[in-house]
Amino acid sequence: MERIVAQYYIETPLPVEKAAAVLAGEQSSGTFVDIPGETDELKKRFAAKVEAIQLLDVVDTPATPGPSRIGQQYQRANIWVSWSVENFGNNLPVMISTLQGNLYELTQFTGLKLMDITLPDTMTQQFRGPQFGIDGCRKLTGVYNRPLIGTIIKPSIGLTPTQTADIVSVLVAAGIDFIKDDELLSSSANSPFAARVDAVMAVINAYADKTGKKVMYAFNISDDMDDMQRNYDKIVEAEGTCAMISLNSVGTSAVKKICDRGELAIHGHRNGWGMFNRHPLLGIEFPAYQKLWRLAGVDQIHVNGIQNKFWESDDSVVKSIESCLEPITGMQTVLPVVSSGQWGGQAPETYRRTKTTDLLYMAGGGILGHPAGASGGVKALQQAWKGAIEGQSIEEIARQHPEFALSVAKFGKK
């Protein structure tokens, strides 16, 4: 039977073989004493197996609190652990509990991070994965050979549906490809979900009828299960093309249920991600995270951005983008959503590092805060990406394009 392999970056006060064996025991048949019924045959079939260990550095201070004593040293290592897929079949939540369950609490580890997962084909074949993915999102928006340019409605919360639609009018006329709700807004006292969909889609549909260009709007449907279904129906009825879900807040089973419908592209927002990832030796790394959400069927997923306003390094962002584009047999790739403090000046570096235009490139203030208005902001972003693909520097692009030059003047001096 094929096996799923997880790579963990760990730190332990014990010999690594011993710590790894504890992890494997806890995450398969184990309890803290030998008990009747745990036969060798049963262990062989269902037990987790430590496949490989790679020793790294030794440190004097534990990464996270645990039983520590003076003079104690802590070994860091990469370890690879496998499970038979017959333990959980195509049950994503139980797979997650297997890969990321009680093991974070074991005293045998002072640090543990799930770095990546290798999924056997027989397992991934049981999942449809993204229904639209990159190709589908390009087809829905009619954008090819460059990133989709997107923006977020700001202020995040407080606008009425009419006020939101007014901003959408400006953005649509400015040539935007994609717009999204903020994650703080789904249905609020002064912006009921259905009323916002009606107001926004009237603008988008009218523009599409006139020009043939259909802007994708990701309405935030995050809510209780039934409300999400109702919100989804509302978007379909209004001829929208996309729904947004806050992945961590809604959770795996409900996200998958929504993705399974397959009528709308699903924009996966990763807000809350920092708590899983900010510590170098605790939680989960993005390559593993995006695979789980790809199995659930998400079409677009946030990856932060180069030179972002958050703590994350450019190296980490590049790795995240690359992981989204890495093929999984029989499954579409997921569109990386680049955002956070982006205004176009990061386009040359983003392209230089990733060599891809398969991105949804989001600018919030960078578009609506542009000195020449939203139209200038969208133009500036298109100019930035055209120049980036041609290998131009920020200065070269600014010399050729007045709108981008204005962006540089306003956003580039921080």
Site for a second copy in 302-361 (CB under 8 A): 304, 309-312, 341
Instruction: State the amino acid at position 43 in one-letter form.
Output: K
Examine residue 57 and tell whether it contacts a second copy (CB under 8 A): no
Q: Give the count of beta carbons closer than 10 Å to the beta carbon of residue 122.
A: 12
Give the C-alpha separation, 196 to 166, whole Å: 11
Residues 60-79 that bind a second copy (CB under 8 A): 64-67
Using the rule CB under 8 A, give the single segment among 117-125, 206-214, 223-231, 394-402 that binds a second copy: 223-231
CA distances from 122 to 1, 10, 83, 128, 346 (A): 9, 29, 14, 12, 40
Please state, in angstroms and rounded to a whole number, the distance separating the CA atoms of residues 213 and 38. Answer: 63
Q: How far is the CB of 47 from a second copy (least distance, A)?
A: 8
Residues 14-43 that bind a second copy (CB under 8 A): 27-38, 42-43
Q: What angle do helix axes 92-100 and 252-261 make, rounded to 10 degrees?
A: 150
302 with 269: CB under 8 angstroms?
yes
| Residue 89 is a binding residue for a second copy (CB under 8 A) | yes
Using rule CB under 8 A, residue 105 touches a second copy: yes
Q: Shortest Cβ distance from residue 272 to a second copy (Å)?
A: 5
Q: Which residues from 375-404 bind a second copy, rule CB under 8 A?
A: none
- Does residue 45 touch a second copy according to CB under 8 A? yes
Residue 351 to residue 391: CA distance in whole angstroms: 8
- Residue 161 CB neighbours (<10 A): 19
Nearer to a second copy, 29 or 356 (CB): 29
The answer to whether residue 200 forms part of the interface with a second copy (CB under 8 A) is no
User: Could you tell me if residue 373 is left (phi over 0), alpha (psi between -120 and 50 degrees) or otherwise beta?
Assistant: left
Please identify which residue in 102, 118, 211, 400 interacts with a second copy, judged by CB under 8 A: 102
- Quote the CA–CA distance of 389 and 57 in Å, as a whole number: 40
Residue 43 CB neighbours (<10 A): 15
- Which one of 253, 329, 393, 400 is in contact with a second copy (CB under 8 A)? 253
Binding residue (CB under 8 A) for a second copy from 54, 126, 135, 251: 251
Near a second copy in 140-199, by CB under 8 A: 152, 154-159, 163, 167, 183-190
Pick the stretch among 7-15, 93-101, 208-216, 395-403 that binds a second copy (CB under 8 A).
93-101
Q: Which CB, 278 or 399, lies closer to a second copy? A: 278
Count of residues engaged in binding a second copy, rule: CB under 8 A: 102
Site for a second copy in 115-134 (CB under 8 A): none
Q: To the nearest whole angstrom, how small is the minimum distance from the Cβ of residue 35 to a second copy?
A: 5
* Of 191 and 383, CB closest to a second copy: 191
Q: Tell me if 97 contacts a second copy by CB under 8 A.
A: yes
Determine which residue in the list 2, 60, 135, 224 makes contact with a second copy, applying CB under 8 A. 224
Question: Is there binding between residue 249 and a second copy (CB under 8 A)?
Answer: yes
Long-range Cβ contacts of 97-103 (<8 Å, 24+ apart): 98/27, 99/4, 99/6, 99/288, 100/284, 101/26, 101/27, 102/26, 102/27, 103/23, 103/26, 103/27
Q: Compute the distance between CA of residue 2 and CA of residue 127 in angstroms, rounded to an integer.
A: 16
Question: Which of 53, 59, 96, 173 forms a contact with a second copy (CB under 8 A)?
Answer: 96
Query: Is residue 288 helix, strand or coil?
Result: helix
